[in-house]
Amino acid sequence: MNPIITAADLASELAGPRPPVLLDVRYQLGGPHGRPDYDAGHIPGAVFVDLDAELATPPGAAGRHPLPDPSVFGAVMRRAGVSAHAPVVAYDAAQGWAAARAWWLLRWTGHTEVRVLDGGLAAWTGPLETAAPEPAEGDFMPAPGALPVLTADTAAALARSGLLLDARAGERYRGEVEPIDKVAGHIPGAVSAPTTDNLDDKGRYLPPQALGARFAALGAEPGTEIGVYCGSGVSAAQEILALELAGFHPALYAGSWSEWSQDPDRPVATGPDRG
């Protein structure tokens, strides 16, 4: 299944016989919280999902956004109306980070019909509503393991044997700034691949051919084992979606830099080179 859907196609499906469950996952790193924006106006029928509280466990040794407990995640999805064999569409404001996190989690736990609204709410030209819906309980039961994940150790090994992409901004990769975590730099051997380069100037994903050329220039080839990390495992999901559009099937290092940089024994590279 194509992992993205246009606003026009979404409008058509919502009016059709098999409308998707809508998840509004608006989120901004460091705030403000996305719920007030949801309450001010959302796509009709969309259910708000809180990334910090419902798509992650509390921050700690495993990073700032550790993967949620599957049973808790499943309960959140069922309350939102998600069922095993019904389509789901997630959206955020525009850049696709939070929506891709929901997409990745559903895919990882076995849901096969989930997509992200290309361009986010900014691309939607239809009506908005302010009332929160009360969907019927879904039946989705998560079964983790459908997508590959990396640990700190396997990410380090992949940086040497395959291609490990760092999805953060280039200045964070190079160690010039670090606004969130205590240590600046990148995992030795990782390649800088900011998520902003996956989108056009309207916040929509580049065509698959353009994405394929982008990742090929970074070292991705057919058969290459690829992993992705970011600051805390959120924006990396957007990069994974872009890689899937280009025909690759990468693994996510969920702990990402926020986990890696907590251990003083783990090496840190700085500068523009892989290290």
Q: Are 101 and 25 in contact (CB under 8 A)?
A: yes
DSSP 121-152: GGG--S--B-SPP-PPP--------SS-EE-H
Catalytic residue among 51, 230, 236, 243: 230
Residue 165 pairs with which residues in a beta bridge? 191, 228
State residue 223 phi and psi, 5-degree precision. 90, -10
Whether 146 sits among the annotated catalytic residues: the reply is no
Cα–Cα distance for residue pair 140/116, rounded to 1 Å: 18
The DSSP H or E segment spanning 51 is: helix 51-54
Rounded to an integer, what distance in angstroms lies between the CA atom of residue 176 and that of residue 186?
A: 11
**How many of the other CB atoms lie within 10 Å of CB of 78?**
18
Q: List residues with catalytic annotation.
A: 230
